[in-house]
Amino acid sequence: MRSSAAGLKSTLSSLPLFAKTGGEIIFAKASTLFTMVHLAIFVSGSGTNAENIIRYFRGSDRISTDLVLSNKEDAYALVRAKNLGVATAVLPKAEFNRKEKLLPLLDSFNIDFIVLAGFLLMVPDFLLEGFDGKIINIHPSLLPKFGGKGMWGHHVHEAVKAAGESESGMTVHYVSAVCDGGEVIARFSFPVLPSDTPDDIAAKEHVLEMEHFPEVIEKVVSKKFNI
């Protein structure tokens, strides 16, 4: 599989180092040669975050969303992506965990960075190694609280309510071999009122996701690739 660095280098090698206009040779600035990082979004469900991310980076000259991948063929995220002109792919769990299936797919789209946005499978070791420090996830609680196996979607918000928490929120973190155990990048919180139901908590948390997740992705990618 071509690494992210190799992908960016191939972009560099395909660009002219100078342009001739009006009898003058103008050398391109180095900063203009590394202008596009290619994202893949992994998702298992409806895809509101995936759509929000796609729309956020539409028209960007630095970051593009090139693939939405799901482990479920009926995930509505695939419909959202297709409606927005983004390529989609489906890999059930067995195929997702096969190196010879997943890596060539990502390579075919020149993927540099992966975003998990409601993706319910654990990331295999070979992908963690191939995209070291280049896979992030969003989680609907203030990790390390209410993270780990079984803590996804509405299960999290029900647990927050049952525990009598006074606040909850969302966390963006790097993905590691430990479920929800990677280094925290950012947290955003909101107050939980005694009268809030799990649905109320979910709605408040979703607002934070829509507001903050794309911006966090942009900051992480920009720093990682120096763009």
Instruction: Give pLDDT, residue 27.
Output: 36
**Alpha carbon of residue 149 to chain centroid:** 20
Which pLDDT tens digit goes with each residue over 178-198?
999 999 999 999 999 999 999
pLDDT for 81 equals 98
* Contact predicate 88/81, CB 8 Å: yes
What are the domain boundaries of the chain? 136-171+183-227
Q: Which contiguous run of DSSP H or E holds residue 186? A: strand 184-191
212 is catalytic: no
% of the chain exceeding 70 in pLDDT: 85
pLDDT at residue number 36: 94
Q: Which CATH architecture has domain 136-171+183-227?
A: 3-Layer(aba) Sandwich (3.40)
Find the catalytic residue in 38, 139, 157, 173: 139
Q: pLDDT of 100-122, one tens digit each?
A: 999 999 999 999 999 999 999 99
Rg of the Cα trace of the chain? 19
The span from the CA of 220 to the CA of 134, in Å, is: 9
CA–CA separation, 222 and 137 (whole Å): 17
Q: What is the pLDDT of residue 16?
A: 41
Residue 50: Cβ within 10 Å count: 30
